[in-house]
Amino acid sequence: MMKEKGRRAKKGHLHQVGLFGAAAVICAAAPALAETGPEKPLKPKTIAERFCEADEFSACDPVIAFVEENDAFFSGQDRNYSQGFRLEYVTGGRRIVGLPGLAQKFVPVASYLTGKEIRQGFGIAQEIYTPRDLTLVNPNPADRPYAAFLYFSGTATARNPERRIQDSLQINLGIVGPAALGEPTQRNFHRLIRGIDPRGWSAQLRNEPAVEIVGQRQKAWRVFDLGPIESDVSLHGSAAFGNVRIYGAIGGTFRVGINLPEDAYPPRIRPAISAPASFNPRGIGGFYVFFGTEGRGILRDIFLDGNSFRPSGPSVDKRNFVQDIQGGAALNFSRVQVSLTLVQRSESFFGQFQNDKFGALSIQVAL
């Protein structure tokens, strides 16, 4: 009798424990069940973000790029295209905003960027042009006029890593003339290096708001891979429109080296054999040499034709076809790339004394 009562008491106790345990489990799970209610729809990823996830070599890291071009690097002289610099910040995978994004809606040739948002750059640049003889207060009217171009730029780049095609759209907004600060830039630099004081800047092109839109498509192919040595060849076509320059160009580049990055060309200042800053590190380091050429058919060049609305201003008779030939090398170490390019540019106007020769130094840092 006592044993039976004990069994019943024990059974009742176990039953109570089971009820309490079940209740505890339900209470503990209730907040989780409440939190796992109807899920909010996730924001769809951009094509750029999907590329970054799918392809380990996609250019998804932000990049800071600096470019300095100067004839002192190659010829040791100071004439024609005298100096240029560019500082640019390039995002990782992002949607296109600002001027390039606006251009997609209103500029027909920019529509190819729609749906391929990959990278965007924001930069500032300056270009300086001078005649051959800097000592003349009244420059030779048959020589290239003094001129400077200071501008801000927005660049959108769309790249298909599988097909190795890259499209870019660059919009430059700035000013040509004394407000572009070419005179103080050159004079202060010449004082620093104890060079010739340029005396003819009073005859430079007058102030004029400047707009330039440049589009480019580039296609690359692998040529051969021999162990760690890789090579590729790329072709490109580009066009520019605005009151600064109007031209069409076609060219190509061959590269050979170790751990070739996906950027086919080091960044440069247009017009040039160039691509937007897009350094994407591969491995610990790498090295390559490159050779390229480009031909440009030119309808307008404000630095030779003169100001748009001042027919009496300085100008020369430009050549409608100009060719660049270049060679150089790039060294990648960790997340830094340094490249040096030597350029020979054919005569740009009738009466030019000789071809332009200048060098370009570029530094890119992947953040």
* Prediction pTM value: 0.79
Average the pLDDT over 222-240 and give the result: 92
Stronger pLDDT, 130 or 191, i.e. the higher one = 130
Residue 362, SS3?
strand
Query: What DSSP line would sit under 120-138, residue for residue?
Result: EEEEEEEEEEE-S-TT-SS
Residue 34 host element (H or E) = helix 2-35
Average the pLDDT over 69-78 and give the result: 79
Amino acid at site 159: R
Report yes or no on 247 lying in a domain: yes
Report yes or no on 30 lying in a domain: no
pLDDT tens track for 170-216: 999 999 999 999 999 999 988 888 888 899 999 999 999 999 999 99
Report yes or no on 341 lying in a domain: yes
Mean pLDDT over each residue of the chain, to the nearest integer: 81
126: domain range? 47-366
Domains of the chain: total: 1
Here the CATH number for the domain that contains residue 143 is 2.40.128.140
* Bridge partners, 147 (sequence order): 129
Q: Is the pLDDT of residue 87 over 80?
A: yes
Report yes or no on 124 lying in a domain: yes
Kindly report the number of other CB atoms within 10 A of residue 29's CB atom.
11
Give the residue carrying structure tokens 């350029």. Answer: 343
Report yes or no on 29 lying in a domain: no
Q: Is the pLDDT of residue 222 over 80?
A: yes
Report yes or no on 323 lying in a domain: yes
Report yes or no on 6 lying in a domain: no
Q: Would you state the pLDDT for residue 121?
A: 87
Most confident of 59-63, 192-196, 289-293: 289-293
State the distance between the two ends of the chain, measured CA to CA, in whole angstroms. 83
Report yes or no on 178 lying in a domain: yes
Q: Is the pLDDT of residue 30 over 80?
A: no
Average the pLDDT over 139-162 and give the result: 90
> Predicted confidence band at 93 (pLDDT cuts at 50, 70, 90)?
low
Q: Is the pLDDT of residue 20 over 50?
A: no
How far is 236 from 105, CA to CA, in rounded Å? 24
Q: Would you state the pLDDT for residue 165?
A: 84
